[in-house]
Structure 1
Amino acid sequence: MDWNHPDVYQYEKKIALKIPCYHMLYEMMDRLLTVRLDKDAAYVMVVGAGGGQELLTLGRRHPDWSFTGVDTSANMLNLARQRLKIAGIQLNADFIEREVKQLERKHQYDAATCMLVLHFVQDKRKFLQHIADRLAEGAPFFIAAIQGDLDSESFWWQMRAWKEHMLANGIAEQEWERFADSIGRHSHPIPAEEVEAMLIESGFTNVTRFFSAYLIDGWFAVKGGGK
């Protein structure tokens, strides 16, 4: 998908129809992050902030937190700004149009999120390392992505079931076909155990899966040896 195409403004209208328990994924992220962070004021890095769902979810409940929202798409960042404005949420937030590796490393964030982004990244190991390098020791990290072995039968069973879910929720079959055709071309899922191994290699501990819906899994982890 071209994230700078004007059609990205339809993203937030359709994503919850496509992903089962989409809003629950973010609710669970927030609850777990709140328990782990336990701070009145915190500085959170949101990687892939375009669309704005993390900022909406966290901003409603944590008005004293500060955010850096980083995304490579100007249109998606504008969508995040629009959604926050419509919701009447005023955040202490910086919106930065660049890759996470381009962020300065002098500030160590208290937490980070990266939701529904990793499958679009080809060099996942370096990407996760860039995030880890910008987190303080003990910082929680939340990530969700499409995962699976594209050569396995089970992957395509899940895809067929996911198709039925989307069509039942009003997604056009042509749109489903575009999504299915993009797997392995524009998105690059890898097996869950490889995601978990990369998180550990990048310096994260306590890697735990907290969400699963068809081929989308969510994990939380801790930078370094935090309890």
Structure 2
Amino acid sequence: MQSSGYERLQSQVIPGYGSLARLSVALLAASPVAAEPGVDVLVAGCGTGSELLEAVAQRPDWCLTALDPSAEMLQEARQRLGDQAAIQWQQSTVEALVDAPGMAGRFAGALSVLVLQSLPDDGSKLAFLTALARCLKPGAQLVLVDLMQTSLPSLEGQLDQAWRGFQRASGLECSLQDGLHPIGLARLTSLVNAAGFGDPARIFQALGFEGFLLQRLS
């Protein structure tokens, strides 16, 4: 799928998608560690490059590592970004990246937008979050945005119906939610604490999609 098609599909599925990359980068740029000039920042699951475009626009001084296991996604992102000397492209996973020489504790911040939701909660989510924590400097922050389970079961049916209605009103003929593994806030808190982060601070919510700031503990 071409990047324009991918971005259009995401905007049809996710309320507020057009502002997610801008918001995520702005939040990370305001964090104490990533606010320093010229620091290394990781974009984990960079997809077709929305967060990269915003990072280059808002913080051209950052040294970005664009990570994605999909060669197709990386190719699309590189075409969108053009020749950016400040971006290192990595076709890999975070779990593999952190074990490469010089990667543990390297990054002053990280972005992970719509990645964790695709991983099953069979140890894969914990491994991903643990690797992200290991990549970060102590005190550095991660911006995490994903589809979540509601903490109010009585509203689950209504929220699901609203999401399906949003997608239909956005032009989709069928709802897209297969292959996703959302978890609730209590489970997320347990996982991020086990991975080496403090409690998640919610900074965004639109229906079931929520964004959090996580800080790596010292």
* TM-score (normalizing by structure 2): 0.87
The structure with the largest helix share of the pair is 1
Letter in 1 for 2:5: Q
Q: Alpha carbons of 1:40 and 1:168: their partners in 2 closer, same or farther (altered >3 Å)?
A: same
**Counterpart pick for 2:19 among 15, 24, 32:** 24
Q: Alpha carbons of 1:222 and 1:200: their partners in 2 closer, same or farther (altered >3 Å)?
A: same
Q: Alpha carbons of 1:51 and 1:16: their partners in 2 closer, same or farther (altered >3 Å)?
A: same
**Counterpart pick for 2:73 among 65, 72, 76:** 76
Tell me by how many angstroms 1:13 deviates.
2.3
**Counterpart pick for 2:10 among 15, 19, 23:** 15
Cα separation, 2, equivalents of 1:70 and 1:154: 36
Helix, strand or coil at the partner of 2:30: helix
Structure 1 position 201 matched with structure 2 position 191? no
Tell me by how many angstroms 1:101 deviates.
0.9
Tell me by how many angstroms 1:23 deviates.
2.5
Cα separation, 2, equivalents of 1:7 and 1:34: 29
Cα separation, 1, equivalents of 2:8 and 2:150: 29
Tell me by how many angstroms 1:155 deviates.
2.6
Helix, strand or coil at the partner of 1:148: coil
Q: Alpha carbons of 1:90 and 1:119: their partners in 2 closer, same or farther (altered >3 Å)?
A: same
Letter in 1 for 2:61: D
Cα pair 1:9 1:79 within 8 Å, conserved: no
Cα separation, 1, equivalents of 2:39 and 2:102: 16
1:165-199 deviation digits (Å, cap 9, x = unpaired): 1111222x23x2xx24x1xxx22111122112211
Tell me by how many angstroms 1:102 deviates.
0.8
Q: For structure 2, which runs of at least 5 residues remain unmatched after alignment?
A: none
Cα separation, 1, equivalents of 2:102 and 2:13: 38
Cα pair 2:26 2:58 within 8 Å, conserved: no
Tell me by how many angstroms 1:17 deviates.
2.5
Q: Moved runs in structure 1, 4+ residues, more than 6 A?
A: none
Q: Alpha carbons of 1:156 and 1:73: their partners in 2 closer, same or farther (altered >3 Å)?
A: farther
**Counterpart pick for 1:34 among 19, 29, 54:** 29
Tell me by how many angstroms 1:8 deviates.
7.1
Tell me by how many angstroms 1:126 deviates.
1.4
Cα pair 2:189 2:199 within 8 Å, conserved: no
Task: Tell me how large the CA RMSD over aligned residues is.
Answer: 2.2
Cα pair 1:109 1:134 within 8 Å, conserved: yes
2:185 corresponds to: 192
Cα separation, 1, equivalents of 2:64 and 2:171: 34
1:54-98 deviation digits (Å, cap 9, x = unpaired): 10111111111111111111111111112223xxx7351111111
Cα separation, 2, equivalents of 1:124 and 1:57: 26
